[in-house]
């Protein structure tokens, strides 16, 4: 039996470990659990964000998180936790100084490739522990995220994921009711798919 609830601020280190295990080799993971912990602490503490966890037998096996108002959330996070993020990123800077420094400089301007739509909430991350994969928990967490975002005034929810060599994840979002909105090419040639789910039409179904 898996239950889904709001994350507590003090659970941020556990969520950081779950993220590291779910996404080895990704940029945020390379910054370390300290950096990830600051990010999840921001998600779980902010009224501008949603952070939900899935629990099974007392253990957290999944998390979905993201801001309801991305611009306000990331601006506030930079102003209130900028120094903590920078300190937590030091190990990553020492390992990969040029790569990490360039991405950190761009971070204050990151909005998740936001669509030109009003009241769009962003799904920043969906993580599921290996033990819970295939259980349907990711779909349930995403559905509850959308419901919570709608209650907070969001008219749609968007997210981005890699276009290439990522068929399973792209198919998952399509099954969850997200529609492909645009393909975005980042520096270095990486192409991202941006998906959007209309919460108003979803609520009428």
| Average confidence (pLDDT) over 177-193 | 90
- Coil, helix or strand at residue 192: strand
Q: How confident is the model at residue 108 (pLDDT cuts 50, 70, 90)?
A: very low
Exposed e or buried b for every residue in 139-176, given b needs 16+ CB within 10 A? ebbbbbbbebbbeeebebbbbbbebeeeeeebebbeeb
Range name among 35-49, 81-95, 172-186 with the lowest pLDDT average = 81-95
| Per-residue pLDDT at 131 exceeds 70 | yes
CA angle 89, 163, 44 (to 5 degrees): 40
What's the CATH fold of domain 2-204? Aminopeptidase (3.40.630)
- Return mean pLDDT, the chain: 86
Residue 122 CA from chain centroid, whole number: 7
**DSSP designation for 177:** T
Residue pLDDT, tens place only, 156-181: 999 999 999 999 999 999 999 999 99
Determine the pLDDT at residue 103.
59
pTM of the model: 0.87
Q: How confident is the model at residue 192 (pLDDT cuts 50, 70, 90)?
A: very high
Check: CB of residue 49 under 8 Å from CB of residue 42: yes
| Average confidence (pLDDT) over 78-83 | 78
Determine the pLDDT at residue 145.
98
- Tell which residue, 157, 8, 187, 188, has the closest CA to residue 68: 157
Burial class (CB in 10 A: 0-12, 13-18, 19+), 35: buried
Determine the pLDDT at residue 41.
94
Residue spans per domain, the chain: 2-204
| Average confidence (pLDDT) over 15-34 | 87
| Average confidence (pLDDT) over 66-84 | 85
Determine the pLDDT at residue 182.
93
């Amino acid at each position: 039996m898996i239950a889904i609830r709001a994350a507590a601020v003090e659970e941020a280190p556990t969520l950081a470990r779950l993220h590291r295990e779910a996404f080895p080799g990704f940029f945020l993971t390379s910054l370390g659990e300290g950096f990830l912990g600051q990010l999840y602490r921001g998600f779980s503490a902010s009224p501008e964000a949603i952070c939900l966890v899935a629990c099974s037998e007392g253990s957290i096996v999944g998390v979905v998180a993201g801001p309801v108002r991305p611009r306000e959330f990331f601006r506030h996070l930079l102003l209130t936790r900028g120094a903590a993020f920078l300190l937590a990123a030091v190990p990553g800077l020492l390992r990969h100084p040029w790569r990490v420094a360039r991405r950190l400089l761009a971070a204050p301007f990151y909005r998740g490739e936001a669509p030109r739509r009003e009241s769009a909430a962003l799904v920043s991350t969906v993580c599921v522990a290996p033990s819970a994969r295939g259980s349907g928990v990711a779909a349930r967490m995403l559905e509850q995220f959308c419901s919570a975002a709608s209650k907070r005034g969001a008219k749609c929810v968007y997210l981005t994921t890699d276009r290439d060599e990522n068929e399973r994840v792209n198919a998952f979002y399509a099954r969850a009711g997200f529609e492909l909105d645009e393909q975005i090419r980042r520096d270095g040639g990486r192409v991202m798919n941006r998906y959007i789910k209309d919460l108003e039409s979803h609520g009428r179904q």
